[in-house]
Structure 1
Amino acid sequence: MRVGKLGAVVLASTAMVMVVPAALAQVDGARDYDMPSQDLGSALRAVAQQSGTQVIAPTELVADLRAPALKGRYRPEQAVAQLLRGSRLRAAMVGSTLVVQRDDTAQVGNVSADAGGEILVTGTRIRGEAPVGVPVITLDREALQQGGFATTAQLVQSIPQNFYGGANENTGSLITGTGGGNSSRGAGVNLRGLGQMSTLVLINGDRPPLGGAGGTFSDLSMVPASVVERIEIVPDGASAIYGSDAVAGVVNVVTRLNFRGAETSLRFGTADGDSQEYQGSQLLGTRWSSGHAVVAYEFYKRDRLRASDRDYATDDLRAFGGPDRRPGYASPGTIYAGGRSYAVPAGQNGVGLTAAQLTLGAVNRQDSWFGIDILPQQQRHSLFAAFSQDLSTDLRFYGHGLATWRRYDVNLRSGADTRRTVPVTNPFYLDPVGTRQPVGVDYSFTRDLGPEGQSGTARAFGVTAGLEATFGRWTVDAHGTWGRQDEAWTLRNRINSARLALALADSNPTTAYNLFGDGPSTNRATIDSIRGYIKNDYYGVVWSGTLRADGPLAAVPAGDLRLAIGGEYREDRYRNGATTSYTSSLTELVTPPTPLPELRSVKSLYVELLVPVLGGEASLPGFRKLDVSLALRTEDYSDFGRTTNPKIGLSWEPLSGVTARGSYGKSFRAPIFNELRQDPGSIAIFAFAVADPQASSGTSNIIVIRGNDPNLRPERAETWTLGLDLSPAFVPGFRIGATWFNVDYRDRIASPAANLASFLINRDIYNPILTPNPSGARVAELYASPYYRNLQNIPATAQFVAVADARLQNLSVSKQAGLDLDVAYGFDLSGDRVEIGAVGTYIFQIRQQLTPTAQAIDVVDTVGNPVDLHVRARATFQKAGFSAALFGNYVDSYVNKTAVAPQRVSSWTTFDLNLAYDFEQSRGPLHGLRIALNGSNIFDRDPPYVSYFVGTYTAGFDGENANPLGRVVSLQITKKW
């Protein structure tokens, strides 16, 4: 299967490359246009449709403007320029996209650097230019509307280059991937599956504060979709431009800084089950002769998705042909005495229970999904404001700010299941072996207390303010950014073990705790007395100051030699609050904050040079244009020292409409605060039974050591790309772009414990961290450690086949190679407009080595990692104000290696549909009204079955490669005033 797909991709790529030389003589990028005078928005759409070039033109900029007639042969940028004559608008290239902006105080790119009439595109510091050699993915408001997305995170996570594993609502409680730090159920982005911490997220070009426990990711759930103008994504290493974290790429959210008028939007959606969605927003924008201002508010709410609404959210997989992994903590429970188990019968309250009623050798089991949620309930309020004021013809003062408050609530699995000891003083005590010794009982308290749950808040604030001055053709920008994200949570219904011990020892049948009945068999006051909780809070702060300048350095025959130079100073702070706990003592305990490095300062200098080698009057046959960019950034960290990272990009345009490009660079990621913890709370030692194909019983015991390696180093990577963009004139409306990418990622920081259930199944991978056959003395030493936790009641006298050092550490190497493909074809059909296209990613390999000497293992197409092929295809139709968009999403099959015998996971194909009518051309009260009906996963395809088992977590689906929401239908009404 893999070979066939690989061959198909290589064959298609080869055919594409082979056809280019033959087609060069026919390609000049220009088209013949014969368009009457019409409203500007329609004219720009017509040029986009005929040329196959994406044109982004915010409605508020082109409203009430008319375009002149257009007749003649033009390249796309020339045609748009003709249409914009006299409008005080201009267009600039953002990668392969033309973006329309104001020609006076335009701000469609990085807010701190684009008011001079030239935009700053993500991936470069040189305004008015697209990054050389680097692909830029642009998601505009049309993509947001056509996709039917309610949130910014949904839009970004829809691209094939993103791997859903990591920080998102669905994986917030998963052990695998990097979702474990997502205690507030936020949403990150994980380009290339290299980890959310390896993708740099920017808002208008600046870093927002980090979210998650320890500052593990940038939380896109805090950015309201209603204020997003577009999102620019550079899926390539960019530390030479932006510094740390830009290993897999950069995601820059550009807000609607130029909005004018008023816009009201209401949305309601519903999924199978009781999960419903509500959204409302209001934008107001105004302009005056020397500036403008925008304010916006958005409300969003989504109900919880309960596990009971999805058949595959279960520990019992027998209905799917899998195993029954329901744990032995149940109600009624199971008594353990004399080394044997005795199942307590159902249908009785534990009063007068006799040994004869017990079932010897049996174990009562209960699904750990009982009463819990797959997705949390979310509610969010967001407020956005921006302004710009000219102080003179050459000086501008600007600023913008975002404040978001989000509340969530989710029911969780029990985190305190353990065997309870019942003394002989308990009035319900039952000794099935007659020794009158305390007995152990495995009992689930979910029916007594209700499920464990977590509720909390996340609050984010960010402010940017600066001055921008123009000196001839040079622009100097000085601005400061401050941001803070606070998160607080409360874990409820956690058993207070001290109170429970008292209640179990109580001899009064009225107040003693009864573990021998079916369901709640204890009085309510006693049940409430053992109801414990944990509370914690933490916050992260970032502030930075930036001084930068860019402009032409010298004129050369091919154009201007352009330079960008700048310096930045940044401080990152993170602090844990005290933990309040009422789970193991008779009174509330307050634990001091976790000791972390609270402050990191970074000093940075960068320079970027754009060299036009050939172009304009200096072009040659076969070399219409040749550009080279050189970038270098050095950063001095207060805790890790200095790092310097270069990048080079090359773009060759033999003829208009054909561009070959490439890039090479070095990137890095510094460890986050939580990865540097060395306090007792960060260390855990436990015994665990895992699958072992070499054992006759099928399982073996290991001892796992978890924590953080005290000698962590920054991660480092080398990235390169090769790409080809083709838009031939002999096929009007057709374009194709292909990018080969390669990432050589070294010293990666990761915890092998993410896949501890596979340690013995995949010994070839994990041998470097396994110490086989530990001595009795070593086992005794580990069991005596203050960090030892008794998770599975495995005695120290048991046989252990290995000790696993699963601490967070620099796992040596990860190498990834693949191909991105973007194809689109637009054409007229009886006066209407049709476009078909697809974007996809094929990953050839993700080879990982646990240590430099370990065997390299290809992990693509395995649970916990990206699949090899991920495609999102589209077909759109537009007739006057009516539009329809159909999307097909394909996730390829892969292998589940968490099972003893590897299992094939089926591919997954879903379809999304958007139907909309825009009354933009209407007059009267309907003018500016847009009504859209959206359907996601319209055929309600369940995720493919996976016998998903990591640690104690079991499910019948893979939340990192599938969305459990099922079919979601929504209605959205938007009115511009």
Structure 2
Amino acid sequence: MKRYCAVFAVAAALASQGAYAQADADKKAGEAGRPSGDEAASEAIVVTGSRIRGIAPVGSPVVSLGRTDVLQSGKNNTAEILRQMPQVVALGATEALGGGGQDATANQSRAQGLNIRGLGTRATLVLWNGNRVVGMGGFGNFVDPSTFPTVALERVEIVADGASAIYGSDAVSGVANIITRRNFDGIEANARYGIADGGYHEFAISAIAGKTWSGGHFNLSAEHSGHNLLLATKRAFVTSDQRPFGGADFRSTFCRPGNLTAGGTTNYPLPAGNGVGLTPAQLAAGSPNRCDLQALGTILPKQARDTVLSSFAQELAPDIELFADAFWTKRTFLNANVPTATVTVPSTNPFFVTPVAGRTSVAVAYNFYPEIGYTYTPGYEKAVMAVGGLRAKVGGDWRVELSGSIGRSDDLTNNTQQANATAIAAAVADTNPATSLNVFGSAYTNNAATLSNLFTGLFVIKGYNVLKSVNGSAQGSLFDLPGGAVKLSVGGEYRSELNFGILTRGTQSAPLAGDPFRGTRTVSSVFGEVYLPILRNSGIPGLQSLNLSLALRHEHYSDVGNTTNPKVGVTWVPLEGLSLRGSYGRSFRAPSIAEANFKSAGYGINVNTALADPLSPTGVSNGISLVGGNPDLAPEKSRTYTIGADLRPLPGLSLSTTFFSISYTGQIADLVNPTVLQSPFYSAYVIRNPTQEQIQQYLNFGGSPLPISLGTLPATVSFIIDARRHNLGDTKMEGLDFDLGYQFGTAIGDWNLHTSATLLTRLAVSAAPGAPVVDVKGHINRAPEFRLRSEVGFRSGPVSAQIAANYATSYINDLTAPAYRIPANTTFDLFVGYSLGKLVPALKDGSLSLTINNVFDRDPPHSNTALGYDPQSASALGRTMAVALNTRF
């Protein structure tokens, strides 16, 4: 704890006013972070954490980013900008991960999710102007914030507090509300180009045009952005061989020359050469050949995105307004893969050799990359959504609103270059040495026509999500208390959701479509919120003002039942410049449609061979697992409370701290892992020594024969695991958020200092009902124990500058033995901008800027893992430099 306090104290001395300030803090008048005219105009209209117009959430802190914060970030999309916040972590769905912690393996389309507190992208609700957005990421599990172009951003507000009483499902760890520009006049055009080592480049071209008039507005924005493919060959620190660093050797055994097995697990490393005329005497059992496939892999896929967004409002009559917002977006991606396969070679192959007499076939783990290069997986994700309705004043300050929304997202992961098992089998069975496939050496040139057909297998994932909703609400004042008018908001929502997916296997010439998955649900909700300003400027010592809020929401799901969630918040101002606040609420996350439907992607029977089993005399057992969704799932639940204080002792100086506590129960997970038989806490999901009737029941689960994967059914089935998704895990998290800001003027210019940090004091998990609670604070695949961003900003005339420090504490990697600590990570960012108004009067609001992220080009901390670094906690980009031109007419 002492080392974190020391780091925080030093950062506070160097801190800056940059991006992250409490939303209810004084705006940074006269500095770069001040809201623009269109920001200020809508500030009281769209609020986050409350449904009462113009009332900030009582008891809950709000963190906000404005337009200038976006421009100074040096980031290419909204998701990357938000991850600079200490409360937002890069666990789960990021473009750098098609695998990793928190279900990142499901993110085949490389979408970017938002993860507040590190409890998962599914536990964070992302809104657009206060509206729920159609789900993305293949199965509609999350919303990609980079959908929204940076040119259209007015601000982003984050409430890192449970908010299901306000918004419903998914708001477990918090809510991010992406608020886009409305009252915009003129034309703004921006261009940005960035580079990094290894030929990496990124770009963004965007524009917005708008017009306001008496009683209405319209604007239209568009953005084209992206970056090229970054391969691991461009980063020397990416390696699977950690032995030089005292770690393990994670290199693959799929090599050239490869490794041969003959009916067992013993490896016979093949010698270098052309593989022609090998004899058994040349094959000796021993350590396998190894090669570093990760060093050939993809760090970042190629991405390109096009987005169009519009906003419209028109007063139809006094006190009646029509409004509509819409967006369309399409993102394409391309990932490079290293082609490998286990090739079963029959004795008829002209190059066949076996070290075991009598074998009629052998298996060779082989790397085809030196012969055919990369295979590629292209794909896309696109979405379209519209929200519209009517607002009306109906007497006094009462307002009613009726709105509807409709949205659809489509995604395709078009992997048409998988290993084609049929073609490979035919190639090795060919008896003609000129055309047969030789996998026994490293220097043989195989026939080009033969090679061209080997990777034509399919693994094509296609799906779409549809969201439709109708919302109605009314709000206004009821009566007065000493602190002001009591305000009430009541309403209801009806929502329908659809999720469709299909997996196509087979080959390019003979595609084999799987059983399509299609799930639907409806959700009906009623909600209410009351704001009670009990005292304001009372003159009573120790009780200047006191505000209270109460909220309640009830939802009925057609597939998973009912849930009711309350929330209470209180803000107490004992004396001028000091406010104390607290909140308590219950939240939930409903199972996704895919999670609650058995026939979602990947369902069926998995064959488990030689699974570790302490009850077996041999130490291993053979059996089967049932995988898929589970209609018996219940919603995940959480209880959250916060206690905080905001202090403003001097003009321009603000200090804030918040203690948070989250109890998250019934978390959904599957049991597809090799340790199930070793833990007594999973025994409820295991049938040992099943009868033939039980085996047949599972093979035909749901009434029809299930697809069988990962092998053939063993002769003796010793166990059956119900490995479907279940309500298994619990998480307890506690910690502190800090925020310190100071702005002041001097003879040479205006200074802005700010530090924002998050410290976890407790993070403990229980993997299954009845399992022990394990302390995982400061461990890999978890939120950082301590994270900080500190900035120093300066403005003088047309010149503005900012330097920022980013710090994340060290953490334990216990995925390998022995466990060890991955070092802390510190990077620095620099921004320099120049206003063009004096040089080009027509561009009075234009600017030219240079941003350098990771100024000192620091490599990510070394990790004893297959990559050599942890992409969930550090970027492999290194130093990036970007030039941006922003113009406004």
The TM-score with structure 1 as length reference comes to 0.83
Tell me the residue number matched to 2:19.
none
Q: Given the superposition, is the C-alpha separation of residues 55 and 571 from structure 1 closer, same or farther in structure 2, using an over 3 Å criterion?
A: same
Structure 2 distance, partners of 1:566, 1:329, is 60
Shift of 1:963: 1.4
Match of 1:337 among 248, 257, 262: 262
The corresponding residue for 2:58 is 132
Q: CA RMSD in A?
A: 3.3
Equivalent in 578, 582, 585 of residue 665 of structure 1: 585
Match of 1:327 in 2: 252
Deviations 1:896-955 (A, max 9, x none): 11012211111111111111111245553453321111111111111111112xxxxx22
The answer for the alignment partner of 2:323 in structure 1 is: 398
CA contact (8 A) 1:771 1:803 kept: no
* 1:514 corresponding residue in structure 2: 438
CA distance in 2, matches of 1:549, 1:241: 14
Q: Equivalent residue for 2:45?
A: 119
2:94 aligned residue: 168
Alignment correspondent of 1:57: 35
CA distance in 2 between counterparts of 1:908 and 1:962 reads: 8
* Residue pair 1:704, 1:806 contacting (<8 A) in 2 also: no
After superposition, give the CA deviation of every residue in 1:536-565 in whole Å (9 maximum; x if it has no partner). 311101111111111111122221011111
1 CA distance for matches of 2:444 and 2:744? 67
**Structure-2 separation of matches of 1:322 and 1:669:** 39
Q: Secondary structure at the match of 1:498?
A: helix
Distance in 1 between the 2:686 and 2:60 partners?
51
Structure 2 length as normaliser, TM-score? 0.91
Q: Does 1:493 align with 2:417?
A: yes
Distance in 1 separating the partners of 2:341 and 2:387:
47
Mapped contact 1:614–1:620 kept (Cα < 8 A): no
For structure 2, the residue ranges without an aligned partner over 5 or more in a row are 11-23, 700-705
- 1:775–1:573: structure 2 CA closer, same or farther, 3 Å change rule? closer
How far did 1:295 drift? 0.8
1:798-852 per-position Cα deviation (integer Å, ceiling 9, x unaligned): 9x9x997654321242111110000111222324111222101111111111234
Alignment of 1:460-859 (within 5 A): 460-471=383-394, 472-518=396-442, 521-531=445-455, 532-577=457-502, 579-583=503-507, 587-594=510-517, 596=518, 598-616=519-537, 618-679=538-599, 681-683=602-604, 685-687=606-608, 705=625, 706-729=627-650, 732-751=651-670, 753=672, 756=673, 767-769=680-682, 789-790=709-710, 807-859=724-776
- Displacement after TM superposition at 1:120 (Å): 3.3
CA shift, 1:860, in A, is 1.6
Classify 1:540/1:889 alpha carbon distance in 2 versus 1 (closer, same or farther; 3 Å): same
* Alpha-carbon shift at residue 356 of structure 1 (Å): 4.1
Amino acid aligned to 1:451: Y
Give yes or no for contact 2:654–2:741 (8 Å, CA) kept in 1.
yes
The number of residues matched between the two structures is 863
Match of 2:881 among 942, 950, 969: 969
Distance change in 2, residues 1:700/1:223 (3 Å): farther
Confirm or deny: 8 A CA contact 2:613 2:621 kept in the other structure.
no
8 Å CA contact 2:623, 2:714 repeated in 1: no
Indicate conservation of the 8 Å contact 1:381/1:404, yes or no: yes
In the alignment, the residues of structure 1 paired with residue 670 and residue 852 of structure 2 have an alpha-carbon distance, to the nearest angstrom, of: 38
* Mapping of residues 192-341 of structure 1, within 5 Å: 192-337=117-262, 339=264, 340-341=266-267
Match of 1:821, SS state, is strand
Q: CA offset at residue 177 of structure 1?
A: 1.7
- Aligned residues of 1:169 and 1:375 also touching (Cα < 8 A): yes
C-alpha contact 1:371 1:411 (8 A) present in aligned 2 = no
Contact 1:780 1:796 in 2 (8 A): no
2:108 to 151, 158, 183: 183
Letter in 1 for 2:813: N
1:100 equivalent among 29, 40, 59: 40
| Cα distance in structure 1, aligned partners of 2:755 and 2:586 | 30
Q: Evaluate the alpha carbon distance shift between residue 392 and residue 249 of structure 1 in structure 2; reply closer, same or farther with a 3 A threshold.
A: same
* TM superposition shift of 1:443: 1.4
Q: Is the contact between residue 481 and residue 535 of structure 2 (CA under 8 Å) also seen in structure 1?
A: no
Give the equivalent residue in structure 2 for 1:37.
none
| Alpha carbons 1:689, 1:702 under 8 Å: kept | yes
Partner AA of 1:609 in structure 2? V
Structure 1 residue aligned with 2:16: none
Indicate the larger mover: 639-648 or 304-313.
Answer: 304-313
3-state DSSP of counterpart to 2:40:
strand
Question: What percent identity do the matched residue pairs reach?
Answer: 36
Distance change (3 Å), C-alpha of 1:862 and 1:692:
farther
| Change over 3 Å in CA distance of 1:658–1:316 after alignment to 2 | same
Instruction: Give the Cα–Cα distance (whole angstroms) in 2 for the partners of residues 710 and 394 of structure 1.
Output: 47
**Does the CA-based 8 Å contact 1:165-1:178 persist in structure 2?**
no
Name which of structure 1's ranges 336-345 and 394-403 shifts more when overlaid on structure 2. 336-345
Residues 851-890 of structure 1 mapped to structure 2, 5 A cutoff: 851-890=768-807
CA distance in 1 between partners of 2:333 and 2:25 (Å)? 53
Cα offset, 1:361, TM superposition: 2.6
User: Cα–Cα, structure 1 residues 856 and 870, in superposed 2: closer, same or farther, change >3 Å?
Assistant: same
Indicate the residue corresponding to 2:381 in structure 1: 458
**Cα deviation, residue 709, structure 1:** 4.4
Change in 2 beyond 3 A, CA 1:687/1:316: farther
Preserved CA contact (<8 Å) 2:668 2:726:
yes
Residue of structure 2 equivalent to 1:92 = none
Q: Deviations over 1:119-159 (max 9, x none)?
A: 23100011111110010001111111222222100111111
Stretch of structure 1 that moved more, 672-681 or 893-902? 672-681
Deviations 1:295-339 (CA, angstroms, capped at 9, x unpaired): 111000201111111233222222322111212111111222375
**Which residue is equivalent to 2:83?**
157
Relative distance call for 1:119 and 1:628 in structure 2 (3 A) is same
The offset of 1:222, in angstroms, is 1.5
Equivalent-residue separation in structure 2 for 1:456 and 1:884 (angstroms): 39
> Aligned partners of 2:356, 2:731: CA distance in 1, in Å?
56
**Matching residue's letter, 2:665:** R
Q: Tell me the SS of whatever aligns to 2:384.
A: strand
1:911 to 825, 828, 837: 828
CA offsets, 1:318-365, max 9 Å, x none?
Answer: 2322111212111111222375433222232x3333334444434222
Residue correspondence of structure 1 range 913-952 to structure 2 within 5 A: 913-920=830-837, 924-948=841-865
Q: What letter matches 1:819 in structure 2?
A: L
SS of equivalent residue, structure 2 residue 523: strand
SS for the counterpart of 1:476 is: strand
Provide the secondary structure at the position in 2 that maps to 1:664: strand
Letter in 2 for 1:57: P
Amino acid at match of 2:565: N
Q: For residue 939 of structure 1, give the secondary structure of its aligned residue in structure 2.
A: coil
Shift of residue 172, structure 1, vs aligned partner: 2.3
Q: Against the structure 1 CA distance between its residues 129 and 30, is the aligned structure 2 distance closer, same or farther, given a 3 Å change threshold?
A: closer
Please tell me the residue identity of whatever aligns with 2:69. A
The CA deviation at 1:796 is 8.3
CA positional deviation for 1:797: 9.8
Cα deviations across residues 352-391 of structure 1 (Å, max 9, x unaligned)? 3333444443422222225321111000111111111111
SS at match of 2:745: strand
**For the structure 1 residues 612 and 781, does the alpha-carbon distance in structure 2 shift closer, same or farther, using more than 3 Å as the test?**
closer
With 503-512 and 335-344 compared, the bigger mean Cα shift is at: 335-344
Q: Measure the CA separation in 1 of the matches of 2:371 and 2:833.
A: 49
**Greater mean alpha carbon deviation, residues 199-208 or residues 681-690:** 681-690
